[in-house]
Amino acid sequence: MAIKRLLYVIVGVWLMHTPGLAQTKIQVDICVYGGTSAGVIAAYTAQKLGKKALLIEPGKHLGGMSSGGLGYTDIGNKYAITGLARDFYRRVGRHYGKFEQWTFEPHVAEDIFKEYVKQGSITVLYESQLKEVKKEGNRITAIVLENAGNPSLPNTIVEAKMFMDCGYEGDLMAKAGVDYVVGREDNKDFQETINGIQVQHGHQFPDHVDPYKIPGKPESGLLWGISNASLLPAGTGDKSVQAYNYRICLSTDPANQVKITRPAGYDSTQYELLVRLFQATPEKRTLNDYFIVSRMPHQKTDINNRGGFSTDMIGMNHGYPEGSYAERQRIIKDHERYTKGLLYFYGHDPRVPKALQTEMLKYGYPKDEYTDNGNWSPQLYVREARRMVGSYVMHQANCVGAEVVKDGVGMAAYGMDSHNCQRLIIDGQVKNEGNVEVGVFGPYPIAYGSIVPKAAQCGNLFVPVCLSATHIAYGSIRMEPVFMVLGQSSAVAAAMAIDARTDIQNIDIAKLQQQLKSNPLADGKIMDILVDNDDTQHVTHTGTWITETKGGYGPSFLQANVTAATAESTVRFTPDIPKNGSYTAYLYIPKVKTLSSESKVTVFDGKNKKEVVIKASDVVVEGQTSGEWVSLGTYTLPKGTTASVELSTRQADGTVVADAVIFVPSQAGASK
């Protein structure tokens, strides 16, 4: 026995000092790789549905871009944002004392994602990056993780029934042998018109900006940031990747500032082209001419790229999507150095116009943000990396409504958007190439087939972030709230596939769609009851109303342009209340230029009527949204279709809009 015990000790010591063998094994139902907004929502959904989930984050923070500086949410149309994604923005609203809010500080977003983790009892592995994927046939059996900070430490093996790649890079998808693309398709590949090479006017240099170090002398060499590549014909596909940047959170509160200082490795020659842009545009002398400066709560910002030369580090990210972890870290550090240097340049270089310099010096890094990362975001804005080639490829026809999928498990509503991919010499002058900004027809469905691989390649992997879409369609879909929606849809589908003991390509799509609709919070509780103007079963109207298809909630809204001689018109919204209880009613008011100073609303609770007057001055629209919800008060409503909300043009002195009404249980999330 003594010899046996000694043998155990020797073997144990050997394992401790042999990292490749001293591995930890974890078994779960659903393994979620990537602690982005989609990843957190997916793991929370899985847990709420009774499946054991594990959330793996290669970094130290949760939320991806949603907590990484992108506080000015790209929405498109709030109607498209459903379920737990909508719940996220309502939690943000509660933090700021409002019903719903789409602009927020980074730490507020991360705190809310941590709330989901706590409430869902989710286990999170931080600083764990993918090393290997193990497969049998068309199914992943396990993944091997290494420590991101020290890969020589023991690995972790995760075995699961279902896997989800919720990272921005698509690493799990790629290592699983699933088809993907990087770059831009040729227009002819999917009969598109705005994919591939595009030289357009948005975020562009004015004419006659010289590209050479010594103007007019090509032999002197190119200024930093300009490629010597030749311009290919419009619509030609290539491997170029749209530019990355940081969404910059700064503060104008002197009590909450860390001074913007010269970063290590600062190189002022990177901004020579910006000096020439200043010279070419003497009429532009505010920071908002060169940055999109969006105001966040508590005197903070979400700063994004604007114009010919800004925060986008054009052409410097092409090696990122398929790069090694070390190569990506180099690119990330290059972007950080460039961006911090750009801010310092504006404040301190004597070639910067005085008005711009003075304005920049009012800003500083916020003391209370990213406190463990030098007050700088740990998340580079990876707008696009790999894109899966799955069971279905979303493309331009889907975005414009020419082709509508039947297996929709989420909606997109943002315009088809691409940042610039290259900075070239065209006709002897500097031009950016790749920017596209084209609107879509309205909220459109995203195919289930676009978040799952081809069946032969993998039967238990979901890809809700690097989903299957062409470059230009991805530009419409790739918004944080949409990623959250698709993360939830993936988790529900994963649970269904586990229960049915089948591959994810074989589940009942109609059943999935119904479950997403009937259980939006994934916990069996009522979220709200929506009555949209397009719902002919629950909406009636009298008089004259014009249907507007842009700028409202959902596909359309109704509008009445009232004059003194106009007869009264009404719109009545009649909800189907699922159970007796207390509900707060909200009316959606879209932004219109000639909104009546007052609009009359009558709320009927089944017994009594109450008139509510909506003042145009009280409708304050914040963020990238078409309008705002306005409270009509809280009422005790009976089950059924007795209650109603009626909007009237009576005594109006301008435009009256009728769009949507929601009824929210006073005890948010009351059981059905």
pLDDT tens per residue across span 555-593: 999 999 887 667 899 999 999 999 999 999 999 999 888
Token pair 């799955």 is found at 390
**373, 376, 371, 304: which is closest to 340 by C-alpha?**
376
Token pair 């769009």 is found at 659
| Average pLDDT of span 261-270 | 98
3-class state of residue 86 by DSSP: helix
Q: For residue 123, what is the enclosing H or E element? A: strand 123-126
Q: Return the amino acid letter for 333.
A: K
pLDDT tens per residue across span 466-484: 999 999 999 999 999 999 9
| Average pLDDT of span 394-409 | 98
Task: Decide if pLDDT at 529 tops 70.
Answer: yes
Would you call 152 exposed, middle or buried from its count of C-beta atoms within 10 A (0-12, 13-18, 19+)?
Answer: exposed
The DSSP code sequence of 413-461 is: -S-EEE---EEEEETTEEEEE--EEE--SS-EEEEGGGSS--TTT-SSE
The C-alpha atoms of residue 65 and residue 145 are separated, in whole angstroms, by 23
Residues near 281 by beta carbon (within 8 Å), at least 6 away in sequence: 206, 289
Give the model's pLDDT for residue 550.
87
pLDDT tens per residue across span 326-368: 999 999 999 999 999 999 999 999 999 999 999 999 999 999 9
Residue 16, number of CB atoms within 10 A of its CB: 11
pLDDT tens per residue across span 2-43: 444 443 333 343 433 444 456 899 999 999 999 999 999 999
pLDDT tens per residue across span 187-198: 999 999 999 999
3-class state of residue 136 by DSSP: strand
| Average pLDDT of span 266-273 | 98
The C-alpha atoms of residue 405 and residue 398 are separated, in whole angstroms, by 8
The structure tokens listed for 503 are 């591959």
Pairing mode of beta strands 429-433, 422-426: antiparallel
Q: Report the mean per-residue pLDDT for the chain.
A: 94
Give the model's pLDDT for residue 22.
67
CA 188 to chain centre: 28
Residues near 531 by beta carbon (within 8 Å), at least 6 away in sequence: 538, 539, 573, 574, 575, 645, 660, 661, 662, 663
Output the CA angle 553-558-560, nearest 5 degrees.
140
Residues near 271 by beta carbon (within 8 Å), at least 6 away in sequence: 224, 309, 341, 342, 345, 349
What pTM did the predictor assign? Answer: 0.95
| Domains of the chain, CATH where assigned | 529-665 (2.60.120.260)
Report yes or no: 44 and 120 within 8 Å, Cβ to Cβ. Answer: yes
Report yes or no: 33 and 126 within 8 Å, Cβ to Cβ. Answer: no
List strands edge to edge, sheet with 529-532: 529-532, 660-665, 581-590, 627-637
The structure tokens listed for 582 are 């207390």
Give the model's pLDDT for residue 668.
54
What percent of the chain shows pLDDT beyond 70?
Answer: 96
Confidence band of 672 (pLDDT split at 50, 70, 90): low
The C-alpha atoms of residue 297 and residue 276 are separated, in whole angstroms, by 34
Give the model's pLDDT for residue 561.
87
The C-alpha atoms of residue 590 and residue 424 are separated, in whole angstroms, by 41
Give the model's pLDDT for residue 99.
95
Task: Decide if pLDDT at 171 tops 50.
Answer: yes
Would you call 251 exposed, middle or buried from its count of C-beta atoms within 10 A (0-12, 13-18, 19+)?
Answer: buried
Output the CA angle 436-438-441, nearest 5 degrees.
155
| Average pLDDT of span 120-126 | 98
Would you call 406 exposed, middle or buried from its count of C-beta atoms within 10 A (0-12, 13-18, 19+)?
Answer: exposed
Q: Of 100-104, 397-401, 547-551, which range is least confident?
A: 547-551
Residue 21, number of CB atoms within 10 A of its CB: 12
